[in-house]
Chain A
């Protein structure tokens, strides 16, 4: 016998056991209806739980993307200051983030699929429960316990199988959500520990601190160079001379071009 038939028999055997338990089969109807409503609540909670997990992943993805963009900027800034080592460090961290993000994208798609499936399952179950309620009332009103037996079998068919299926689907969704939350928790911890830096950018990470230090150092160097030139060239001429030097390079006032304009001064100062 193939798997398809064996599986359907397993579902059916379970429905039969539920029916056999009751003394007055009509009581089974009310009991089952109660169970159906409980399951419906459970499925709806399941949909909400999956949605919560999905949204949490969305927040984390945007936090990680923000981090990635920041590291990219840092890499550019570091290269501008001639610090390839810092730029490399920033890009390495960014690449680790990219891996995290693409992993989260997979989880996100997974949860989204689960959410859609459960939403549809809730709709189907609700329609079936409503159908069952109508049948149940008819049976209770029109038949004796003995007569009800066969009618109840009819009413039960389908709903019991649906409940088993939906019950298992909710369980699977819960398992997936739990696994996802554990991973999301790990990423939250990583973000909080500062290993990936604060997404708000308030706390300075080590790369930013180093870049800021470099920038202020080169400001000092420039200022010193300017002052030295004033002394050697004489106070009156100095400002014009500097302006004259700045002109040919146009708008390039970024730090990396400036050391080139005073190559002879830099080495004397003994850069750190």
Chain B
């Protein structure tokens, strides 16, 4: 499974780790939906750390889509909400 951390690149992660990531993703999703920045920050940090630890960086010249995409490290909860609502944070 390929996971992208925005601004950092892609990581290949063994499917067996999916359960752990899902649990962390649930916490992040709950924080974003509640609009709770105090919960969002540690949840995002935990998720990013888990991906960095479990993942192997994908080769620079590999052209492959990601199965999952994570916000960048210093993303604010509002940035993530805006991205999810599709309000043009992705240029082009």
Contact = CB atoms under 8 A, between A and B. Distances in A.
A55 interface: no
A18 B28 CA distance: 30
B63 A7 contact: no
B60 A123 contact: yes
Contacts, number: 105
B62 interface: yes
Given A165-B6, A167-B91, A169-B7, A3 B25 contact: yes
Interface residues of B, number: 35
Given A4-B21, A11-B66, A121-B7, A167 B60 contact: no
Interface string A150-184: 00001101110101110111011000000000000
A8 B4 contact: yes
B29 A168 contact: no
A202 interface: no
Contacts of A158: 62-65
Contacts of B64: 157-158
B83 interface: yes
B7 A164 contact: no
Interface of A: 2-8, 10-12, 14-15, 18, 117, 120-121, 123-124, 126-128, 130-132, 135, 154-155, 157-159, 161, 163-165, 167-169, 171-172
22 contacts: A2-B22, A2-B25, A3-B25, A7-B71, A7-B83, A8-B66, A10-B83, A11-B4, A11-B90, A121-B9, A123-B60, A124-B60, A126-B60, A128-B63, A157-B63, A157-B65, A158-B63, A161-B65, A164-B90, A165-B4, A169-B7, A172-B7
